[in-house]
Structure 1
Amino acid sequence: MDIFTQARKRLSKFLRVFLKRRRSRIGIYGPPNAGKTTLANRIVRDWTGDALGPVSEVPHETRRARRREDITITSANGNSIAIDIVDTPGVTTKIDYHEFTEYGIEKDEAIKRAREATEGVAEAMHWLREDIDGVIYMLDSTLDPFMQVNIMMVGIIESRNLPVLIVANKIDLPDAAPARIKSAFPQHPVVMISGLEGKNIDELYEKMTNFF
């Protein structure tokens, strides 16, 4: 066996190992209170037994991106994917400290949280530009999906040529209308779930293993 054949075999073996071990970094993006942390916690809990962060009705509870590495998701049909999951702050065009005082938070603390949330959004956008391989874009199916921030964010994700899976969350609520989300973003796959109750989560896992 000549030296070039040996080198090719070594390179082929290295690439097989490298590609097998490579993980996709999946960012969970969306507006505040869409259920991003609830979903991130469910994914992490289902596949590792842990949780990623606290959930609250107060907007912008997640003010810094949180990452959990090396999660292997296996669907019912046997497909699997290794991912790092990144739970990002709720993206919005403006963060006002009054959003916090409405929940009884003192003004000084509210201003501090608003500043942290603004910095967190900037951080999330940096991750999107530099470190994300695919996006789960979370939407509250009880709200109008045509909000400016959603159109803007999906457009930015598309401009990065990143695969984006739209998740219509909160279908357990009586005023949920997930069909509106499908009509808003027909160019992307949409999975309808209840992150809180776990409804259709297996369908989401199957879609993730095939899509990312």
Structure 2
Amino acid sequence: MGMFDRAKKRFRRFLQILFRRKRSRIGIYGPPNAGKTTLANRIVRDCSGDAIGPVSEIPHETRRARRREDVVITGANGNTLTLDIVDTPGVTTKIDYHEFLEYGLEQNEAISRAREATEGVAEAMHWLREDINGVIYVMDSTLDPFMQVNIMMVGIIESRDLPVVIVANKTDLPDAAPSRIKSAFPQHPVIMVSGLEGTNMSELYDIMTEHFG
């Protein structure tokens, strides 16, 4: 092996080490229908033109964690971050199959969906304990931020000492009040966005590169 080849190999190894150091696995968490998959799709589309999964008005549409690897985020500040995005099932303190009946599902399907949703919540918590090293926590800014699930989940994330960015989502809706989320969780950065319309995504990417890098 010549001197040039050895130098090239050393440089490639240096880049691999640098790449691994800057790579993060970021979980997108939040209650059902907070807009997690819409936000995940927006992030992945902005970076690759693809999507991570389907969305639905029916709660618990995401019943298994979905991961997209090697998503490269570039902030307006010039910082770049390579990460794996994990879109997790909606976390809740109660899953009742009757909730699915309200959306026109037959009882057998509703019971099956409730069972799958319960398994999905358990899977999301497993990811949080074992594999996630940063969290984007998504809240619907039209709802009360002091819901039990939000208090519980933010507490769990803090107990694991994970960096977290809170997203006040759905700011495109007329009854959105994202300032309530900012007041409820002043200890964490809160970014007000519309995952559907792409509002303030550049601000989110800036804080992600700073907070998760």
The runs of 4+ residues in structure 1 deviating greater than 6 Å are 10-13
Amino acid at match of 2:152: M
1:211 aligns with 2:211: yes
**Cα distance between partner residues in 1 of 2:178 and 2:51:** 27
In 1, the alpha carbon distance for the partners of 2:64 and 2:98 equals 20
Report the Cα distance in structure 1 between the residues aligned to 2:66 and 2:132, rounded to whole angstroms. Answer: 13
Paired residue for 1:21?
Answer: 20
In the alignment, the residues of structure 2 paired with residue 176 and residue 77 of structure 1 have an alpha-carbon distance, to the nearest angstrom, of: 28
**Partner deviation per Cα, 1:48-105 (whole Å, 9 max, x = no partner):** 1111110100000000000000111111221100000000000000111111110000
State the distance in 1 between where 2:160 and 2:18 align.
22
Q: CA RMSD in A?
A: 1.6
Matches of 1:73 and 1:47, distance apart in 2: 7
Distance in 1 (CA, whole Å) between partners of 2:163 and 2:110 is 35
Residue aligning to 2:80: 80
- Aligned to 1:146, the other structure's residue is in SS state coil
| TM-score normalised to structure 1 length | 0.92
Structural mapping, 1:1-212, within 5 Å: 17-22=16-21, 23-212=23-212
> Unmatched 5+ residue regions in structure 2?
1-8
Identity over aligned residues, as a percent? 79
Most deviating of 189-198 and 15-24: 15-24
With normalisation by structure 2, the TM-score equals 0.92
| Counterpart residue identity of residue 20, structure 1 | F
Deviation at 1:15, TM superposition (A): 6.5
